[in-house]
Chain A
Amino acid sequence: MKRTPQWIVGGAVAAAAALTLSGCGGSSFDDEAGADQDGSAPLSILIGSSGDAETAAVKEAVAAWSEESGTDAEVTVASKLPEQLAQGFSSGKPADVFYLSTDLLAGYASNGSLLAYGDDLENKDDFYPTLVESFTYDGDFYCAPKDFSTLGLIINTDLWTQAGLTDADIPTTWEQLASVSQRLTTPEHAGLAFGGEYARVGAFMASAGGGLVSADNTEATANSDANVQALDYVKQQLAAGTFSYAKDVGAGWGGEAFGKGLAAMTIEGNWISGAMQNDFPDVKYRVAELPEGPGGKGTLQFTNCWGVATDSANQEAAVELVQHLTSTESQLAFASAFGVMPSIQSAAEDWKSENPDFVAFLDAADYAQGVPTVDGSADVITDFNAKLESLKSSEPKAILDEVQTNFEALLADAN
Chain B
Amino acid sequence: MSASPAPAGRPGVRRRGIRSGEAVSGWLFVAPILVILGLFLAVPVGMALWVSFSDWTGRGSPFSSNVNFIGVDNYAALLSGGGLAEQDFGTSLRNNAWYVVFVVPLQTALALLLAVLVNRGVLRGRGFFRTAFYFPSVTSSVAITVLWLFLFGASGAVNKLLSYLGVEGPNWFSDPRGIVHNLLALVGVTEGPAFLTGTDALGVSLWQWLAGPSVAMFALILLAVFTTSGTFMLLFIAALQNLSEEVDEAAMVDGASSWQRFWRITLPQLRPTLFTVLTLGLIGTWQVFDQIYTGTQGGPGKTTLTPAYLSYTSAFGAQDWGRGAAIAFVLFVIIIAFTLLQRWVLRDRAVSKRRMRGYEIPAAAAGSAIGAGAAVASRSTDGTGNSGKDLS
- A residues apposed to B, CB below 8 Å: 1-4, 6-7, 10, 13-14, 17-18, 21-23, 25-26, 28-30, 32, 82-83, 86, 89-90, 92, 104, 107-108, 110-113, 247-250, 375-376, 378-380, 382-383, 385-387, 389-390, 406, 409
* Closest A residue, CB atoms, query B84: A406
Q: Do the beta carbons of B64 and A380 come within 8 Å of each other?
A: no
Q: Do the beta carbons of A390 and B84 come within 8 Å of each other?
A: no
Please measure, in the bound complex, the distance between the C-alpha atom of A14 and the C-alpha atom of B300, giving whole angstroms.
45
Within 8 Å by CB of A107, from B2, B47, B319, lies B319
Please measure, in the bound complex, the distance between the C-alpha atom of A86 and the C-alpha atom of B83, giving whole angstroms.
25
Q: Do the beta carbons of A247 and B318 come within 8 Å of each other?
A: no
Q: Do the beta carbons of A14 and B38 come within 8 Å of each other?
A: yes
* Nearest chain A CB to B247 CB, angstrom units: 39
Q: Do the beta carbons of B299 and A379 come within 8 Å of each other?
A: no
Within 8 Å by CB of A4, from B2, B35, B59, B317, lies B2
Q: Do the beta carbons of A22 and B39 come within 8 Å of each other?
A: no
- Selected A-B contacts with CB under 8 Å, 29 pairs: A14-B38, A14-B42, A17-B39, A18-B46, A21-B39, A22-B63, A26-B63, A26-B64, A29-B61, A30-B66, A83-B316, A86-B319, A90-B58, A90-B60, A104-B319, A110-B57, A113-B58, A248-B171, A249-B154, A250-B155, A250-B171, A378-B318, A379-B84, A383-B87, A385-B299, A389-B174, A406-B84, A409-B83, A409-B84
B128 interface contact, C-beta 8 A: no
* Closest A residue, CB atoms, query B301: A386
* Nearest chain B CB to A247 CB, angstrom units: 4
Q: Do the beta carbons of A82 and B171 come within 8 Å of each other?
A: no
Within 8 Å by CB of B83, from A1, A22, A108, A406, lies A406
Q: Do the beta carbons of B34 and A23 come within 8 Å of each other?
A: no
Q: Do the beta carbons of B302 and A386 come within 8 Å of each other?
A: yes
Q: Do the beta carbons of A3 and B6 come within 8 Å of each other?
A: yes
Q: Do the beta carbons of A23 and B63 come within 8 Å of each other?
A: yes
* Closest B residue, CB atoms, query A114: B59
Please measure, in the bound complex, the distance between the C-alpha atom of A82 and the C-alpha atom of B318, giving whole angstroms.
10
Pick the 4 closest A-B CB pairs, nearest first: A29-B60, A250-B154, A111-B57, A107-B319
CB neighbours of B57 from chain A (8 A): 107, 110-111
* Nearest chain A CB to B142 CB, angstrom units: 14
Please measure, in the bound complex, the distance between the C-alpha atom of A315 and the C-alpha atom of B63, giving whole angstroms.
26
Q: Do the beta carbons of A92 and B171 come within 8 Å of each other?
A: no
* Closest A residue, CB atoms, query B43: A18
Please measure, in the bound complex, the distance between the C-alpha atom of A82 and the C-alpha atom of B321, giving whole angstroms.
13
Q: Do the beta carbons of B61 and A7 come within 8 Å of each other?
A: no
CB neighbours of A111 from chain B (8 A): 57-59, 319
CB neighbours of B64 from chain A (8 A): 26, 29-30
Q: Do the beta carbons of A1 and B2 come within 8 Å of each other?
A: yes
Q: Do the beta carbons of A382 and B298 come within 8 Å of each other?
A: yes
CB neighbours of A382 from chain B (8 A): 298, 302
B27 interface contact, C-beta 8 A: yes
For B23, B39, B60, B62, the residue with the greatest tally of chain A CB atoms inside 10 Å of its CB is B60
Please measure, in the bound complex, the distance between the C-alpha atom of A6 and the C-alpha atom of B6, giving whole angstroms.
13
CB neighbours of A17 from chain B (8 A): 35, 38-39, 43
* Closest B residue, CB atoms, query A112: B59
CB neighbours of B43 from chain A (8 A): 17-18, 21-22
Please measure, in the bound complex, the distance between the C-alpha atom of A89 and the C-alpha atom of B299, giving whole angstroms.
29
Q: Do the beta carbons of A248 and B174 come within 8 Å of each other?
A: yes
Restricting to B305-345, which residues have a CB under 8 Å from any CB of A? 315-320
Please measure, in the bound complex, the distance between the C-alpha atom of A45 and the C-alpha atom of B320, giving whole angstroms.
25
Please measure, in the bound complex, the distance between the C-alpha atom of A22 and the C-alpha atom of B65, giving whole angstroms.
12
B284 interface contact, C-beta 8 A: no
Contact code string B106-136 (vs A, CB < 8 Å = 1, else 0)? 0000000000000000000000000000000
* Closest A residue, CB atoms, query B63: A26
Q: Do the beta carbons of B59 and A113 come within 8 Å of each other?
A: yes
CB neighbours of A14 from chain B (8 A): 34, 38, 42
B153 interface contact, C-beta 8 A: yes
Q: Do the beta carbons of A6 and B317 come within 8 Å of each other?
A: no
Please measure, in the bound complex, the distance between the C-alpha atom of A389 and the C-alpha atom of B299, giving whole angstroms.
9
* Closest B residue, CB atoms, query A108: B319
Q: Do the beta carbons of A10 and B34 come within 8 Å of each other?
A: yes
B248 interface contact, C-beta 8 A: no
Contact code string B8-36 (vs A, CB < 8 Å = 1, else 0)? 00000000000000010001000000110
* Closest B residue, CB atoms, query A403: B84
Within 8 Å by CB of B318, from A3, A28, A376, lies A376
CB neighbours of A4 from chain B (8 A): 2
For B38, B298, B315, the residue with the greatest tally of chain A CB atoms inside 10 Å of its CB is B38
Please measure, in the bound complex, the distance between the C-alpha atom of A310 and the C-alpha atom of B154, giving whole angstroms.
48
CB neighbours of B34 from chain A (8 A): 10, 13-14
* Nearest chain B CB to A372 CB, angstrom units: 13
Within 8 Å by CB of A386, from B39, B155, B300, lies B300
CB neighbours of B300 from chain A (8 A): 247, 386, 389
Please measure, in the bound complex, the distance between the C-alpha atom of A82 and the C-alpha atom of B163, giving whole angstroms.
42
* Closest A residue, CB atoms, query B26: A6
* Nearest chain A CB to B366 CB, angstrom units: 56
* Nearest chain B CB to A34 CB, angstrom units: 11
CB neighbours of A250 from chain B (8 A): 153-155, 171
B385 interface contact, C-beta 8 A: no
Known contacts A17-B39, A18-B43; A247 and B59 CB within 8 A of each other: no
| Apart from A32-B66, A86-B316, A247-B171, 13 more pairs, CB < 8 Å | A4-B2, A18-B43, A18-B46, A25-B63, A92-B60, A104-B319, A107-B57, A108-B59, A111-B58, A248-B154, A378-B317, A387-B301, A406-B83
For B315, B317, B319, the residue with the greatest tally of chain A CB atoms inside 10 Å of its CB is B319
CB neighbours of B65 from chain A (8 A): 26, 30
CB neighbours of B42 from chain A (8 A): 14, 18
Contact code string B58-99 (vs A, CB < 8 Å = 1, else 0)? 111111111000000000000000011101100000000000
Within 8 Å by CB of B88, from A22, A247, A379, A409, lies A379
CB neighbours of B46 from chain A (8 A): 18
* Nearest chain A CB to B312 CB, angstrom units: 9
B255 interface contact, C-beta 8 A: no
Please measure, in the bound complex, the distance between the C-alpha atom of A168 and the C-alpha atom of B155, giving whole angstroms.
36
Please measure, in the bound complex, the distance between the C-alpha atom of A383 and the C-alpha atom of B303, giving whole angstroms.
11
Within 8 Å by CB of A383, from B23, B47, B88, B154, lies B88
Q: Do the beta carbons of B59 and A89 come within 8 Å of each other?
A: yes
CB neighbours of A89 from chain B (8 A): 58-60
* Closest B residue, CB atoms, query A393: B177
B176 interface contact, C-beta 8 A: yes
Q: Do the beta carbons of A92 and B61 come within 8 Å of each other?
A: yes
* Nearest chain B CB to A132 CB, angstrom units: 23
* Closest B residue, CB atoms, query A14: B38
Restricting to B147-166, which residues have a CB under 8 Å from any CB of A? 153-155
Q: Do the beta carbons of B299 and A7 come within 8 Å of each other?
A: no
* Closest A residue, CB atoms, query B310: A379
Please measure, in the bound complex, the distance between the C-alpha atom of A176 and the C-alpha atom of B83, giving whole angstroms.
40
Q: Do the beta carbons of A82 and B316 come within 8 Å of each other?
A: yes
CB neighbours of A3 from chain B (8 A): 2, 6
Q: Do the beta carbons of B58 and A86 come within 8 Å of each other?
A: yes
* Closest A residue, CB atoms, query B38: A14
CB neighbours of B315 from chain A (8 A): 86
CB neighbours of B2 from chain A (8 A): 1, 3-4, 7
For A6, A90, A113, the residue with the greatest tally of chain B CB atoms inside 10 Å of its CB is A90
Please measure, in the bound complex, the distance between the C-alpha atom of A85 and the C-alpha atom of B143, giving whole angstroms.
27
